[in-house]
């Protein structure tokens, strides 16, 4: 497998997984919680790295998912028990956890192969060089495998939980009447977002995960009305941005993750412009 | 560590943190603190573009770049919220992540030239106070002073805008203009703040000191002062740690220190802290339990026409209460001579009877008030009265009695028991 193909596939798998999960975050008005989780998993990653001395280990996923769910719980406790308003509890939680993560990484910088730059922008360009082998066969880049598994897991999660996710996203009360546990779907979604964040972290960095979670879903949200259209639209937009962003970054020799996020922004602007112009014209036609 | 340059940097950093936290306190109270987070991230492309287009070493250029990018981001968020079907949180995280991504892309382009090291552009990401040059510092300290003075000058306007915008408009304040000034100040505060904590953690400087200060006071002035003090304390800790450990960025330590201050404040602050509130809630619960017990015994006496004694088992059967909690309540009542313990159980003392009578009286008065004055049906009023009987003060009781003209019976024709004197 050529390095180019490995990077492109990793970018596509990561982007599509995040976009699908992000659609539910947008519907639930919880994108900032996704933002918070993407920052908050850092101390989990740092501790798991330090303990296991390896990337892409099972420990890392479990550690990070645990911290992600922990962050969600802390936000709730701050809001309900300590009476801090919800935006402030999100902001306080993720900044403190992220700060702790950066401090841990800097402390362990000799033994933990993870630096501040990687945390901020990711290192998707190095994906092809980090390979693993099983029984003497080279199995290819680790990140390609983990992002591929992530995509399968996300597709499986949405397939199995479609009804519960749909109901609890649109009408909490109605979902509760049908016996669907809103809290359980919330926590499982947050756990999936944490998984996605950990997998994407190395490739695209903490903050650009947010772009992948939010922007494709928000762009599709402007255009469609139905949930399955939203999911398909977000996945398609993410796919285009991942491939196009990678191509542009090679052409301009810029950060891959940054270019993908920029392209996501450009796509959104184009859709917004189109939608505003159409809206205006329709408005005039009616008048 | 105590060389004069370090002292200057230290004082400067304290001032930067303090001034941006004061502006942050207003956005915290308005519930817009995450907009500040988005603005902080959005400054990155502005700063890098200013570096590419202009003279990279001139801080004024960077400030203009930051100001332009921050304003675009702010109005972008408002536009998306008001003119599209996107919700507020999506608008914020969308602007935040795409601007930041664009900034990272530009930064990676500049990094190839190697010039960014010189300009210390990386310093903006996580903050590195020790890397600030003195001439930069003077500019930012001047800006911090401008912020503090502006907050003092516009205090009344900001206060009204924060708490009651409609009222501010009604008394003829130029709300739009005040909002605009506040937006500019927010962007400047973020520009100043990221010098010490960096872009990624800027939200903490806007939110955390304010949230901590809020649990100590309800006065806006005091809250602003406390926010500034907390932020400066955290900045002191962060700068000292960062200067002692060579590779350590400043921002994370400031933010961790702020987190600690907020944690202590939210738990231990008198009145509004978690422990104080729990104590109060517990006190109310105990008071309610005791009053309900006295009411129960008084009611039994009223039915039987004589002094009644009840064992704890009898009470448990009637009240569905845990035996442990009940024993505690009984002991407390006995200690205050409201109950006596007899061989056949607990009975009211004269003092206890008077207290039980008071609760029953308040219950019935309130039921009567609900039916007479608020027109509620007689079968709907009991749960309301169950709550109010523990809350009504003697002053309110006197007003209700007067309002209802010294009534004799409640809506269920039970007598309202006044004190026999």
Residue B198's domain is classified under what CATH number? Answer: 1.10.3470.10
Q: Do the Cβ atoms of A95 and B211 come within 8 Å?
A: no
Q: Mean pLDDT over all residues of chain B?
A: 86
Kindly state whether A78 is in contact with chain B, defined as any CB-CB distance less than 8 angstroms: yes
Domain limit, last residue, from B182, B207, B232: B207
What per-residue confidence (pLDDT) applies to A1? 66
Residue of B nearest to A39 (CA): B200
Residue B232 within a domain? no
- Give the phi and the psi of residue B409 in degrees, each rounded to 5: -130, 155
Burial-class residue A2 by CB neighbours within 10 Å (0-12, 13-18, 19+).
Answer: exposed
Assess if residue B214 is contained within a domain.
no
Between B110 and A123, where is the model more confident? Answer: B110
Q: Is the pLDDT of residue B117 over 60?
A: no
Looking at B207, B224, B244, which one is the last position of a domain?
B207
Q: Are residues B31 and B141 in the same domain?
A: yes
Q: For residue B71, tell me if it sits in a domain.
A: yes
State how far the Cα of B16 lies from the Cα of B21, in Å rounded to an integer: 9
pLDDT tens column, B5-61: 788 878 888 888 899 999 999 989 988 888 989 999 999 999 888 888 876 667 778
Residue B421, H or E segment:
none
In the CATH hierarchy, which fold is given to the domain comprising A3-121+135-210?
ABC transporter involved in vitamin B12 uptake, BtuC (1.10.3470)
User: What letter would DSSP give residue A124?
Assistant: G
Residue range(s) defining the domain that contains residue B420? 273-421
Partner residue opposite A100 with nearest CB, options B106, B256, B267? B256
Q: Does the beta-carbon distance from B32 to A87 stay under 8 Å?
A: yes
Contacts of B232 (CB under 8 A, 6+ apart): B14, B15, B17, B18
B94 token code pair: 């969308």
Pair B202, B75 in one domain? yes
Q: Sorting pLDDT into bands at 50, 70 and 90, what band is A86?
A: confident
Would you give the DSSP letter of residue B172? T
Within 8 A by CB and 6+ apart from B226, the residues are: B209, B212, B213, B216, B217
> Both B408 and B307 in a single domain?
yes
Distance between CA B290 and CA B333 in Å, rounded? 7
B313 and B200 housed in the same domain: no
pLDDT tens digit sequence for B130-168: 667 777 788 888 888 999 999 999 898 888 888 888 888
CA dihedral for B120, B122, B125, B131, sign (positive or negative): negative
> Which range is least confidently modeled, A58-62, A230-234, B170-174?
A58-62
B239 belongs to a structural domain? no
CA distance A8 to A247: 9
User: B277 and B162, same structural domain?
Assistant: no
Quick one: closest CA in B to A99, which residue? B252
The model's pLDDT over B182-231, given as tens digits with 9 standing for 90+, comes to 899 999 888 888 877 888 888 899 999 999 999 999 899 999 999 999 99
DSSP state of A123: -
Q: Give pLDDT tens digits for B100-115.
A: 999 988 888 887 776 6
Q: Is residue B236 part of a domain?
A: no
Quick one: how many helices (H) and strands (E) in chain B?
Answer: 19, 2
Residues B73 and B182 in one domain: yes
Cα–Cα distance list, A93 to A37, B198, B203, B323, B356 (Å): 9, 17, 10, 41, 48
Nearest to B93 among A210, A222, A257 (CB): A210
**Tally of domains in chain B:** 2
Is B47 near chain A, with CB under 8 Å? no
Helix axes B274-304, B250-268, angle to 10 degrees: 20
The pLDDT of residue B256: 93
Q: Distance from B134 to chain A by nearest Cα, in Å?
A: 26
Residue at B264 is within a domain: no
Q: Are both B198 and B288 inside the same structural domain?
A: no
pLDDT digits (tens, 9 = 90+) for B60-78: 788 888 899 999 999 999 9
Gap from A134 CA to chain B (nearest CA, Å): 36
B41 near A CB under 8 A: yes
Does residue B164 share a domain with residue B86? Answer: yes
B163 and B281 assigned to the same domain = no
CA A65/CA B136 separation, integer angstroms: 41
pLDDT band at A124 (very low <50, low <70, confident <90, very high): low
Do A207 and B100 make contact, defined as CB atoms within 8 angstroms?
A: yes
Tell me the angle at which helices B155-163 and B175-197 cross, rounded to the nearest 10 degrees: 100
């Amino acid at each position: 497998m050529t390095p180019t193909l490995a990077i492109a596939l990793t970018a596509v798998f990561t982007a599509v997984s995040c976009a699908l999960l992000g659609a539910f975050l947008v519907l639930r008005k919880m994108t900032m919680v996704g933002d918070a989780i993407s920052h908050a998993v850092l101390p989990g990653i740092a501790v798991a790295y330090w303990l296991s001395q390896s990337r892409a280990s099972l420990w890392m996923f479990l550690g990070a998912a645990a911290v992600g769910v922990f962050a969600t719980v802390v936000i709730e406790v701050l809001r309900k028990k300590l009476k801090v308003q919800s935006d402030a509890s999100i902001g306080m939680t993720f900044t403190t956890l992220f700060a702790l993560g950066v401090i841990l990484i800097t402390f362990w910088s000799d033994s933990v192969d993870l630096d501040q730059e990687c945390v901020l922008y990711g290192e998707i360009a190095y994906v092809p060089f980090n390979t693993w082998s099983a029984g003497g066969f080279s199995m290819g880049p680790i990140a390609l495998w983990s992002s591929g598994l992530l995509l399968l897991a996300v597709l499986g999660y949405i397939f199995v939980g479609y009804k519960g996710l749909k109901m609890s996203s649109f009408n909490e009360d109605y979902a509760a009447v049908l016996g669907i546990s809103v809290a359980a779907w919330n926590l499982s979604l947050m756990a999936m977002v944490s998984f996605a964040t950990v997998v994407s972290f190395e490739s695209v960095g903490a903050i650009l995960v947010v772009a992948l979670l939010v922007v494709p879903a928000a762009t599709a949200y402007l255009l469609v009305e139905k949930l399955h259209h939203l999911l398909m639209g977000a996945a398609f937009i993410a796919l285009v941005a991942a491939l196009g962003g990678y191509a542009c970054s090679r052409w301009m020799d810029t950060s891959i993750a940054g270019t993908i996020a920029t392209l996501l922004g450009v796509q959104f602007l184009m859709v917004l412009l189109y939608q505003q112009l159409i809206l205006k014209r329709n408005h005039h036609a009616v008048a | 560590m105590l060389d004069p340059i370090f002292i200057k940097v230290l004082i400067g950093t304290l001032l930067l943190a303090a001034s941006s936290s004061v502006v942050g306190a207003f956005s915290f109270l308005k519930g817009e603190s995450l907009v500040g987070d988005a603005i902080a991230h959005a400054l990155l492309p502005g700063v890098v573009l200013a570096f590419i287009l202009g003279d990279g070493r001139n801080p004024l250029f960077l400030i203009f770049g930051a100001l332009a990018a921050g304003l675009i981001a702010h109005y972008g968020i408002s536009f998306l919220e008001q003119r599209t079907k996107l919700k507020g949180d999506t608008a914020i995280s969308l602007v935040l992540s795409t601007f930041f991504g664009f900034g990272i892309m530009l930064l990676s382009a500049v990094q190839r030239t190697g010039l960014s090291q010189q300009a210390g552009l990386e310093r903006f990401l996580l903050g590195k106070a020790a890397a600030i040059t003195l001439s930069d510092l003077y500019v930012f300290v001047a800006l911090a002073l401008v912020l503090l003075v502006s907050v003092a000058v516009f205090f009344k306007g900001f206060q009204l805008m924060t708490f009651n915008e409609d009222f501010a408009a009604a008394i003829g304040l130029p709300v739009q203009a005040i909002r605009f000034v506040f937006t500019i100040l927010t962007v400047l505060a973020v520009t100043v703040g990221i010098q010490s904590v960096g872009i990624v953690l800027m939200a903490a400087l806007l939110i955390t000191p304010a949230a901590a200060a809020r649990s100590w006071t309800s006065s806006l002035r005091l809250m602003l002062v406390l926010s500034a003090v907390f932020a400066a304390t955290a900045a002191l800790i962060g700068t000292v740690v960062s200067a002692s450990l060579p590779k350590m960025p400043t921002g994370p330590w400031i933010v961790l220190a702020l987190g600690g201050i907020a944690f202590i404040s939210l738990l231990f602050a008198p009145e509004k802290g978690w422990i104080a509130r729990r104590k109060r809630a517990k006190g109310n619960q105990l008071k309610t339990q005791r009053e309900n017990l006295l009411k129960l015994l008084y009611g039994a006496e009223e039915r039987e026409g004589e002094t009644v004694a009840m064992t704890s088992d009898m009470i448990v059967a009637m009240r569905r209460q845990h035996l442990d909690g009940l024993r505690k309540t009984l002991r407390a009542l006995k200690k205050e001579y409201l109950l006596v313990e007899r061989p056949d159980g607990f009975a009211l003392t004269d003092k206890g009877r008077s207290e039980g009578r008071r609760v029953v009286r308040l219950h019935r008065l309130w039921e009567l008030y609900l039916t007479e004055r608020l027109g509620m049906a007689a079968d709907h009023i009991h749960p309301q009265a169950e709550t109010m009987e523990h809350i009504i003060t003697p002053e309110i009781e006197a007003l209700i009695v007067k309002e209802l003209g010294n009534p004799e019976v409640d809506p269920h024709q039970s007598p309202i028991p006044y004190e026999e004197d």
